[in-house]
Amino acid sequence: MLKQRIITALILAPLAIAAIFLLSPLAFGLLLASVMAVAAWEWAGLSGVNRAPLRAVFAFAVFISCLPVAFLSPGWEWLLAVLPLWILAFFWLSRAHLQPPGAVRLIFGWGILLATCTAITLLQQSGPWYVILALALVAGADVGAYFAGKAFGRHRLAPSISPGKTWEGVAGGACLAILVAVAGAWFLDARSMWAFSLAGVIAAVLSVGGDLVESILKRQAGVKDSGRILPGHGGLLDRMDSLLVAAPILAIGLGLAGELA
């Protein structure tokens, strides 16, 4: 398993970086919409849609929705519309026993995936390094949480959803995210080091919500992974769940700070 994870990561990481830096806006938009369609296929499965044709319809709907977003690039203000969805999702985390109807989960998934597509598009149009920053913040929060949780974890964050996560881990992830955010602000020559760094840290800390929401979906669906498209890693959603929160929040924060092009 570990060997598969490493091999998959070594293959995907260079391809992702090359896509971010080298693809034209048209090609990048098509690729991003395709990624969201694969994530939508997995989301539909976690939402109780077991028939392949219906999952394909949902995936195609998300793909079509993402195309104009990727090419017309609406302003970051549009992302404010997704905040009520995540507020409801965080409420769900406190009531993990609730099982919303499949249709509600699909609507939520459509909105979240569309918002993520919009956010990544806005970040990429401001410069490829902004997308790298979003990925680095998520990775930093994950790494910091893992090691801090292993060393100091005592108080569980959400024992009924993800027993391995602790408040100490969240604190460790936040600490490493601060370093990543400050480094990103310096590297990207931010107008306001304070505002830029704050946006990055908030995005990184809240990204744990995406992980927990997907954990609920998988637990209620009775599956370990969202899919099997990535050997050793599971599904695409298993790798990008945190980004579903981090990318929109980062784009909103940087937009408020006047940092986006």
pLDDT in tens, 24-70: 888 898 999 999 999 999 999 999 888 999 999 999 999 999 988 87
Average confidence (pLDDT) over 78-92: 85
pTM of the model: 0.92
Per DSSP, 40 falls in state H
pLDDT greater than 90 at residue 114: yes
pLDDT of residue 68: 87
pLDDT greater than 60 at residue 2: no
pLDDT greater than 70 at residue 200: yes
Residue 223, judged by CB atoms within 10 A of its CB (0-12, 13-18, 19+), counts as middle
Query: Which of 53-67, 160-174, 190-204 shows the lowest per-residue confidence on average (mean pLDDT)?
Result: 160-174
For 247, list phi and psi in degrees, rounded to 5.
Answer: -65, -50
pLDDT of residue 185: 94
Residue 22, judged by CB atoms within 10 A of its CB (0-12, 13-18, 19+), counts as exposed
